[in-house]
Chains A and B, each alone.
Chain A
Amino acid sequence: MGILEVKGVNKRFGGLQALGDVNLNIQENTVHAIIGPNGAGKSTLLNVLVGKLIPDSGSVLFNGQSVLGRKPHEINQMGISRVFQTPEIFGDLSVIENVMIPCFAKRDGAYRLHAFESVGAEDSIVAQAETMLADVGMLEKRDMHAGSLSRGDKRRLEMAMCLVQEPKLLLLDEPTAGMARADTNNTIDLLKEIKAKRDITMVIIEHDMHVVFSLAQRITVLAQGSPLVEETPENIKGHPKVREAYLGEAQV
């Protein structure tokens, strides 16, 4: 049994079949990439996984529990974190505050009226956040305004915010979209580093084959809303069905 099981998920938007009978089984502690041409249903699938969309039929089980119908914050509290295409951070807050918020969320749950404690007095939270920042090499920027960071740093910060929660599953939505080659490579290194340091399952939705083949242990190819193939990277490269799906899309 995998950590995340998607069984028979269907989703229609009007006349369009966005997802058709999707079955996925993601094994614990692997990096699993979902690829596919534009309009294959990757984003729809991701939105189903994080509770933003409810499928017409089928089930999504995380550690044996259904995630369907739960709000994003509940799904996060179950142990699923998400990295967005463009980094979503708290731009008005300082870097360290950005990382402290997920620490509080992990310790105190979705809501707690801790109005009379002082943030500065939360030593363990501060220490936790600082360790995390050190991990991603941003400790010297701890007091900077997060909104003024470079794009690469924003990505790092977002990763740090997700990782500090020690999620069981990390969803990455095109983490290198729009990045220059150098930044992409940095991100790949960062992800590799993260993976090397801890037990974590990652699901990457990605366009860039370079990223996919650098990181993934399993790859699912999605086409027209349905999984075409699920294989190891080596076997995907020469797969005829994949070539067919990607014809003219990208050089594999």
Chain B
Amino acid sequence: MPKKIGSAIPEMIRSMIKKPDTEAYPFTKITLPETYRGKLDIDPAKCTGCSICAYVCPAAVITMVDLGKRKVGEKELPVKRPKFDLFACIFCGECVENCPFGALEFTKNFEMATSQRETLVMKKALEI
């Protein structure tokens, strides 16, 4: 092919005339696919404290907190609920997949940046 200087200029002019491809993100909202894995969320009503999520989590995000005992018939069973240190979450989806009760799910919220670590500790399931 012939060498020339400035073979990019036609495309440059084309790009200049049409709308920019960049989205001005914080000023415009972006669309996310259905399968998006965002911030983790738990439905406290469905959680039974089975600890499977804490076992499978590769990043040790989930720790089970003891909330005292509960009487079921004759026996006394410990009540446990998960606490999520979401700043360490790697969004692998292992807990969501393995939860036998479907209590965990991914939301589409990805704006998680914060200057305080504590705001990313999710204690939602503990308040029962």
| Chain A partners chain B | no
